[in-house]
A and B are shown apart, each in its own frame.
Chain A
Amino acid sequence: MEHLTSTFQPEIFKFVWAQTAKKRSKEDSDEADPEVAAAGAGPSKKSRGTNINSDALKLSCEYLRLFVTEAVERAALVAEAEGCTTIEGTHFERILPQLLLDF
Chain B
Amino acid sequence: MESGAGGERTRDSDGDCDMEEYGQLQQQLHSSKMRLHDRLQVATIATAERTAHKCGMKVSSRVMSALTDLTFKFAERLAVDAELFAQHAGRKKVDTDDVLLVARRNEDVLASLRLLAQSFAKSKEKGPEKKRKKAVADVPDT
Contact surface of A with B, Cβ cutoff 8 Å: 1, 4-5, 8-9, 11-13, 15-20, 22, 26, 29, 42-43, 45, 47, 50-53, 55-56, 58-60, 62-69, 71-73, 75-76, 79-80, 85-89, 91-92, 101-103
Contact = CB atoms under 8 A, between A and B. Distances in A.
B99 A60 contact: yes
Contact of B29 (A19, A53, A79, A80): A19
B51 A68 contact: yes
Given A8-B36, A72-B51, A16 B99 contact: no
Interface of B: 14, 18, 22, 25, 29, 32-33, 36, 39-40, 42-44, 46-48, 50-52, 55-60, 62-63, 66-67, 70-72, 74-76, 78-80, 82-84, 86-88, 92-96, 98-100, 102-103, 105-106, 109, 112-113, 116-117, 120-121, 124
B106 A103 contact: yes
